Structure 1
């Protein structure tokens, strides 16, 4: 990936992260939209699980662990570490 693309993606990510605290009191999201966005996040997670299912068993198992932890509202670093550890351990023991 070109350096320019990485810089643009990093700047966009930072802008999104800063927009939340800056606009929290100025922008009101209707409850219906909040519900819709919550469902959309679950749909995206399910799509990730489905598309990862074609890559052997270790990766979908890691995604499944991440999904379960996300539904249980675990902290993001815990989700990432648990998913990576699950995939790594399964690959270490020979699961494709």
Structure 2
């Protein structure tokens, strides 16, 4: 893919994203969600984020990831649950994965 076609693709995706966001704002103002619908959307967002995180953790392209990645992610998740600062969470995850790879 050439640089020009890549730039056009990025611009089209960016414009499409902003158009969808603007459409959501306009539609949200005209058709407010009920309380149940808002809870369902909140849950759907959480489920989607967890699914993306798990897929990225367990797979590297079309193949399974090495054992160090899930262990590092688990260590980072535990640090995040313990409310460690973000920099520390990332460092713990990276160092844990590196130590597992060295072992």
**TM-score, normalising length from structure 2?**
0.49
Deviations 1:33-63 (A, max 9, x none): 2111122122223322432224234544438
How many residues end up aligned between the 2 structures? 85
RMSD across aligned positions (CA): 3.8
**Runs of at least 5 residues in structure 2 that lack an aligned partner in the other structure:** 59-63
> CA contact under 8 A between 2:68 and 2:98: conserved in structure 1?
no
Specify which structure has the bigger relative contact order, considering alpha-carbon pairs within 8 angstroms and separated by 6 or more residues: 1
Residue 62 of structure 1 corresponds to which residue in structure 2? 73
Q: TM-score, normalised by structure 1?
A: 0.51
The structure with more radius of gyration: 2
Please give the alpha-carbon distance, in whole angstroms, between the structure 2 residues aligned to 1:18 and 1:11: 10
5+ residue gaps, structure 1: none
